[in-house]
């Protein structure tokens, strides 16, 4: 049943008659199972070469099983994984299983270096050669760069170039360390390879992060953008990719002491990139990188229309409801934030970019009515407002048409300035100085855990809210509408504290901390 190939490695001849016993038939059937055969194959028949312990039967860790499942369950995968966590081993085992038990497939392995491609093929060859004959498929071609099986499937390895895979009908593409391919090469490669996948092909992109502006980072960020136009979370990113990320401490041999030693050896910045899998950039974010990295967000407990509620309202608290309006023509989002007081917890959020201004006011009214009904307060614990700059003037007219009294709660406005009687408008006017002051307050409260944000879209915006000139705004390609609504809510609270003793007491603590505020220096941020 076996023969020696030209390079002296044991292989199995193709198209041989087979005789199986009952146990072997069961094993083969389990390996062939299209749902989870890859797991049975990996656990029972896949041998790996451990750098210390030598030949071992592959026994995947929990995170490796999740990685394998991600490979299998999704057509397009992008995976960001720490160094030395077995990602190459997982890929080799899965690709071998896929080729042997899925007929007529062309699998392309593309690595940023020739040695990388050969390393993956070597692991595939090692696993294949140690499989029992009754499990492994016969081969019709077997060399260092490719394998062809009797079922019509083949595995081909190559260095990633702009022309790699061009003209091939690829069933499954595996890209290794894609972030380290030269940027222009990666762009050309992905542009040329994508059409070959459009007819049903699959793709697995794997890497540790490098730059936050390369092709891998772009695909990753799009895969992480799992929110529809209303901010509801989806299973796949907007590019159709499923994103998978593991962490260094998921490896059972790594603990805090190991981390300390590794940082001492390679430095914190390199550790954060290679083991924490962070895209490190030098943008000057409002919120420091350590705090940003700790923000995770939670799923809503209730979706009321397109408003996401992260906590049920209670009569024990007051609520600040802030609307940052927009034109509603597909450009900037309109956004609403709801903050619970005096706990300073974000309890609800809404955003959309094609809801016209009357619809935005209607959503504001619905939120206030829900708060009033749930708290049985008739609006006594509700405070609401809008930004009155630019398009905000149109929002004020709509509120007038609705009837201010029809919206439960008290319409909060900033105090009228001396000599500005004729210029007074309800709501809040954002100037450079008022924005900087509110940004300082946001920074202090969030970094000192006095403000709790629960929204994942909001956290994403905070990671891209950077210094621009003498102010802060969304960096290029990002949005900051949810942040703007949050800042407006904090400006509202500065007014509310003057007549609410509980708010006054907690806010006074913030003001004391804010006395020491300084504009931040450039820092690292993470992009998820």
**What is the reported pLDDT for 199?**
80
Residue 478 covered by a domain: yes
**What is the reported pLDDT for 417?**
67
Whether residue 220 sits in one domain with residue 310: no
Query: Looking at residues 448-458, what average pLDDT do you find?
Result: 94
| Mean pLDDT score across all residues of the chain | 86
Whether residue 317 sits in one domain with residue 219: no
Residue 68, pLDDT > 90, answer: yes
Percentage of residues in the chain with pLDDT exceeding 90?
Answer: 53
Domain end point (choices 246, 263, 279): 246
Whether residue 113 sits in one domain with residue 205: yes
Whether residue 495 sits in one domain with residue 411: yes
Whether residue 380 sits in one domain with residue 242: no
pLDDT in tens, 383-441: 999 999 888 899 999 999 999 999 999 999 988 766 555 567 899 999 999 999 999 99
**What is the reported pLDDT for 267?**
83
The H or E element spanning position 207 is strand 202-207
Whether residue 431 sits in one domain with residue 312: yes
In angstroms, the CA 210 to CA 224 distance is 17
Domain end point (choices 198, 217, 246): 246
Residue 276 covered by a domain: no
Going 122 to 127 to 131 to 133, the CA torsion angle's sign is negative
Residue 6, pLDDT > 50, answer: no
Highest average pLDDT, of 1-10, 167-176, 186-195, 287-296, comes from 167-176
Asked whether the beta carbons of 468 and 362 are under 8 A apart, the reply is: no
Residue 200, pLDDT > 80, answer: yes
pLDDT bracket for residue 188 (50, 70, 90): confident
Residue 499 covered by a domain: yes
Percentage of residues in the chain with pLDDT exceeding 70?
Answer: 90
Residue 295 covered by a domain: no
Report the CATH number that the domain containing residue 385 is assigned in CATH: 3.30.420.240
Report the CATH number that the domain containing residue 12 is assigned in CATH: 3.40.50.300
Shortest CA distance to 12 belongs to which of 142, 103, 145?
142
**What is the reported pLDDT for 32?**
94
Which position has the token pair 């006594």? 380
In angstroms, the CA 279 to CA 208 distance is 9
pLDDT bracket for residue 514 (50, 70, 90): low
Residue 503 covered by a domain: yes
Query: Looking at residues 490-505, what average pLDDT do you find?
Result: 80
pLDDT in tens, 321-353: 999 999 988 888 999 999 999 999 999 999 999
Domain end point (choices 231, 246, 261): 246
Residue 296 covered by a domain: no
Whether residue 166 sits in one domain with residue 28: yes
Distances (CA, A) of 498 to 361, 417, 441, 488, 503: 27, 17, 17, 17, 8
Asked whether the beta carbons of 120 and 72 are under 8 A apart, the reply is: no
Whether residue 392 sits in one domain with residue 326: yes
Shortest CA distance to 162 belongs to which of 194, 140, 135, 206?
194
Structural domain range at position 374:
302-514
The domain total for the chain is: 2
**What is the reported pLDDT for 132?**
92
Whether residue 421 sits in one domain with residue 329: yes
Residue 337 covered by a domain: yes
**What is the reported pLDDT for 512?**
58
pLDDT bracket for residue 507 (50, 70, 90): low
Whether residue 492 sits in one domain with residue 421: yes
pLDDT in tens, 226-238: 887 777 888 899 8
Q: 433-470 burial, b if ≥16 CB within 10 A, otherwise e?
A: eebebbbbbbbbbbbeebbbbbbbbbbbbbbbbbbeee
Whether residue 505 sits in one domain with residue 372: yes
**What is the reported pLDDT for 211?**
67
Q: Looking at per-residue confidence, does 31 or 188 come out higher?
A: 31
pLDDT in tens, 352-391: 999 999 999 999 999 999 999 999 988 889 999 999 988 8
**What is the reported pLDDT for 528?**
37
Residue 526 covered by a domain: no
Whether residue 83 sits in one domain with residue 204: yes
């Amino acid at each position: 049943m076996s023969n020696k190939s030209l390079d002296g490695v044991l292989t199995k001849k193709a198209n041989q008659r087979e005789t199986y016993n009952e146990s072997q038939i069961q094993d083969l059937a389990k390996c062939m199972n299209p749902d989870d055969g890859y797991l049975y194959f990996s656990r029972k028949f896949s041998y790996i070469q451990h750098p210390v312990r030598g030949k071992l039967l592959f026994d995947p860790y929990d995170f490796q099983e999740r990685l394998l499942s991600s490979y299998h369950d999704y057509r397009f995968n992008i995976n960001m994984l720490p160094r030395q966590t077995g990602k190459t081993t997982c890929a080799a085992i899965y690709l071998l299983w896929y080729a042997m038990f899925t007929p007529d497939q062309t699998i392309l392995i593309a690595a940023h270096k020739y040695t990388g491609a050969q390393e993956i093929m070597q692991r595939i060859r090692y696993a294949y050669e140690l499989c029992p004959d009754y499990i492994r498929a016969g081969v019709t071609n077997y060399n260092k760069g490719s394998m062809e099986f009797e079922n019509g499937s083949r595995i081909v390895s190559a260095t990633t170039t702009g022309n790699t895979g061009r003209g091939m009908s690829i069933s499954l593409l595996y890209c290794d360390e894609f972030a380290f391919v030269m940027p222009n090469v990666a762009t050309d490669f992905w542009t040329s390879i994508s059409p070959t996948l459009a007819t049903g092909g699959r793709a697995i992109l794997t890497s540790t992060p490098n730059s936050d502006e390369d092709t891998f980072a772009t695909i990753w960020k799009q895969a992480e953008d799992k929110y529809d136009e209303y901010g509801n979370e989806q299973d796949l990113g907007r590019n159709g990719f499923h994103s998978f990320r593991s962490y260094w401490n998921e490896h059972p041999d790594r603990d805090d002491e190991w981390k300390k030693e590794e940082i001492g050896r390679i430095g914190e910045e390199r550790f954060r990139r290679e083991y924490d899998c962070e895209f490190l950039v030098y943008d000057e974010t409002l919120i420091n990188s350590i705090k940003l990295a700790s923000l995770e967000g939670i799923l809503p407990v209730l979706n009321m229309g397109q408003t996401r509620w992260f906590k049920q309202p209670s009569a024990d608290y007051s609520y600040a409801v802030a609307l940052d309006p927009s034109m509603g023509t597909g450009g900037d989002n309109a956004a609403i934030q709801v903050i619970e007081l005096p706990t300073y917890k974000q309890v609800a959020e809404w955003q959309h970019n094609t809801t016209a201004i009357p619809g935005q006011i209607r959503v504001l009214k619905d939120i206030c009515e829900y708060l009033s009904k749930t708290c049985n307060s008739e609006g006594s614990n509700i405070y609401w407002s809008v930004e009155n700059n630019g398009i905000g003037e149109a929002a004020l007219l709509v509120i007038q048409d609705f009837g201010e009294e029809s919206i439960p709660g008290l319409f909060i406005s900033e105090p009228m300035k001396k000599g500005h009687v004729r210029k007074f408008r309800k709501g809040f006017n954002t100037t450079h100085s008022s924005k900087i002051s509110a940004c300082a307050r946001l920074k202090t409260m969030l970094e000192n855990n006095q403000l709790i944000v629960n929204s994942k879209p909001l956290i994403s915006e905070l990671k891209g809210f950077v210094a621009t000139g003498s102010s802060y705004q969304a960096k290029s390609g990002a949005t900051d509408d949810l942040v703007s609504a949050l800042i407006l809510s904090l400006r509202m609270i500065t007014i509310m504290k003057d007549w609410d003793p509980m708010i006054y007491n907690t806010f006074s603590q913030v003001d004391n901390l804010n006395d020491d505020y300084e504009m931040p220096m450039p820092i690292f941020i993470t992009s998820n």
